[in-house]
């Protein structure tokens, strides 16, 4: 229910925390399989490349779901918080089914694709709910919400670390419970905001804007370079940590390296008010790219140096995400913002499906010291395209 005008002037303090917590809970579905992959491979005799295919299936489902939700205007026809609730409950049911059904690769691929569709009703819809409450200061809220995505992505690894005696099915069921709770929290704690507006129809003309408009092209292709690295790094992260740690320690280190993205997303949002979003995004791209190039020397470094390198990489690899979203939204023609963002996100996630499979395959045949530096190609491309915006605050 949309608030009446008298109530619209006041935004309850709970709004952003509840949205962020709900996003955190819902997006825990994203990397749930990755957190239990070692146990699952042992239990179901999955091939070594299964983690790449299963993660890419989620990405493809998210792309398909994003277009489905946009074309059908689902979050406009129905209350976004109820769409969020339904998607969270659906994602939770899929996670439970993953735990309870026989773990065959073909079935898991279908379930992970369906998880991606459910996530399209969680992450973007959560952003729409936030936009309904923020006519100003959305950039700050965006940093918090993308940070919540990083925390949600990391959560299954924390559950795996806490439940060292659990089987992999118990971890999946715990993630399912968390996701369902997030949907209920959103539905009960966040009314539809006073600034909620229907999205414009998706138009293919936005594709031409992405290429022809210099500013949109700069931020969009900067984002594409960022996405070329981001999810491939997340998938390779357990392999990086496994060279030094095992068991609960491995899961805690993976959790920390992803979860620190919350700090960099929020901190980057604050820094952008002084330096400008393009400069903050450029700094993050440069930082993550240098971390990749330094991998051959730091993989075997003393633990304090290794830890600093891993956490810096985890912070910079995701800290530019809110800035790219804000830059693209600010530079796109007003009538096409929704279409431009939809196509940019779809292209970005399509890139991740390719780089995930590519880098998992390379890591199966080559030492990580030879594979990880190639992750810097994405940030380098991103920096090249982003450069024209560095002078713009």
- The 10s digit of each residue's pLDDT in 165-177 is 899 999 999 999 9
211 and 189: one domain? no
Answer whether residue 25 is part of any domain.
yes
List the single range of 123-127, 137-141, 193-197 with lowest mean pLDDT: 137-141
31 and 166: one domain? yes
pLDDT at 391 (0 to 100): 67
53 and 133: one domain? yes
Answer whether residue 158 is part of any domain.
yes
Answer whether residue 2 is part of any domain.
no
Q: Exposed, middle or buried, 134 (CB in 10 Å: 0-12/13-18/19+)? A: middle
207 and 180: one domain? no
**Domain-ending residue, one of 173, 199, 225:** 199
Which pLDDT tens digit goes with each residue over 37-60? 999 988 888 988 899 999 999 999
**Domain-ending residue, one of 139, 173, 199:** 199
CATH number at residue 69: 1.20.1250.20
List the single range of 121-135, 156-170, 194-208 with lowest mean pLDDT: 194-208
Answer whether residue 3 is part of any domain.
no
- This model's pTM is above 0.85: yes
pLDDT at 104 (0 to 100): 93
In the chain, the number of structural domains is 2
pLDDT at 8 (0 to 100): 42
How many whole angstroms separate alpha carbon 244 and alpha carbon 249? Answer: 9
Percent of the chain with pLDDT over 90: 74
pLDDT at 253 (0 to 100): 98
Mean pLDDT over the full length of the chain: 92
222 and 368: one domain? yes
Confidence of residue 131 (pLDDT cuts 50, 70, 90): confident
pLDDT at 312 (0 to 100): 98
338 and 282: one domain? yes
Answer whether residue 220 is part of any domain.
yes
Do 132 and 193 contact (CB within 8 A), yes or no? Answer: yes
- pLDDT tops 90 at residue 13: no
Answer whether residue 1 is part of any domain.
no
**Domain-ending residue, one of 163, 182, 199:** 199
How many whole angstroms separate alpha carbon 92 and alpha carbon 205? Answer: 36
pLDDT at 137 (0 to 100): 64
pLDDT at 3 (0 to 100): 43
How many whole angstroms separate alpha carbon 322 and alpha carbon 131? Answer: 14
Percent of the chain with pLDDT over 70: 95
62 and 76: one domain? yes
Confidence of residue 61 (pLDDT cuts 50, 70, 90): very high
- pLDDT tops 70 at residue 138: no
Answer whether residue 7 is part of any domain.
no
212 and 163: one domain? no
Answer whether residue 312 is part of any domain.
yes
193 and 213: one domain? no
156 and 268: one domain? no
Confidence of residue 147 (pLDDT cuts 50, 70, 90): very high
- pLDDT tops 60 at residue 9: no
Residues 6+ apart with CB under 8 A from 246: none
101 and 217: one domain? no
195 and 216: one domain? no
How many whole angstroms separate alpha carbon 388 and alpha carbon 331? Answer: 13
Which pLDDT tens digit goes with each residue over 247-269? 999 999 999 999 999 999 999 98
Residue 155: other Cβ atoms inside 10 A: 26
- pLDDT tops 70 at residue 4: no
**Domain housing 139:** 12-199
Do 107 and 49 contact (CB within 8 A), yes or no? Answer: no
């Amino acid at each position: 229910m949309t608030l009446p005008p008298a109530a619209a002037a006041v935004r309850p303090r709970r709004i952003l925390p509840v949205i962020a917590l709900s996003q955190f809970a819902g997006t825990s579905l994203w990397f749930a399989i990755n957190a239990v992959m070692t146990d699952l491979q042992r239990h179901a005799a999955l091939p070594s490349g299964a983690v790449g295919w299963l993660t890419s299936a989620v990405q493809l489902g998210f792309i398909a779901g994003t277009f489905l939700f946009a074309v059908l205007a689902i979050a406009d026809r129905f209350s976004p918080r109820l769409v969020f609730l339904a998607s969270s409950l659906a994602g939770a049911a899929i996670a439970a089914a993953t735990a309870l059904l026989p773990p065959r690769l073909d079935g898991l691929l279908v379930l992970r694709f369906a998880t991606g569709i459910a996530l399209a009703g969680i992450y973007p819809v959560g952003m729409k709910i936030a936009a309904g409450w923020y006519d100003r200061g959305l950039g700050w809220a965006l940093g918090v919400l993308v940070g919540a995505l990083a925390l949600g992505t990391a959560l299954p690894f924390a559950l795996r670390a806490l439940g060292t005696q659990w089987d992999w099915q118990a971890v999946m069921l715990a993630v399912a419970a968390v996701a369902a709770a997030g949907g209920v929290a959103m539905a009960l704690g966040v009314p539809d905001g006073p600034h909620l507006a229907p999205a414009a129809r998706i138009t293919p003309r936005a594709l031409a804007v992405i290429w022809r408009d210099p500013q949109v092209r700069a931020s969009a292709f900067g984002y594409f370079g960022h996405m070329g690295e981001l999810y491939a790094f997340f998938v390779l992260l357990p392999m990086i940590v496994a060279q030094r740690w095992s068991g609960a320690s491995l899961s805690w280190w993976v959790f920390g390296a992803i979860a620190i993205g919350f700090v960099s997303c929020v901190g980057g949002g604050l820094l952008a008010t002084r330096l400008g979003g393009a400069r903050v995004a450029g700094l993050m791209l440069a930082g993550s790219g240098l971390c990749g190039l330094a991998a051959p020397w730091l993989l075997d470094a003393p633990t304090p140096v290794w830890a600093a390198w891993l956490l810096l990489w985890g912070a910079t690899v995701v800290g530019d995400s809110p800035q790219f979203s804000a830059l693209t939204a600010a530079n796109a023609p007003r009538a096409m913002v929704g279409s431009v963002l939809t196509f940019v996100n779809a292209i970005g996630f399509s890139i991740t499906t390719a780089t995930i499979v590519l880098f998992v395959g390379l890591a199966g045949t080559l030492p990580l010291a030879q594979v990880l530096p190639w992750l810097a190609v994405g940030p380098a491309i991103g920096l090249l395209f982003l450069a024209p915006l560095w002078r713009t605050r």
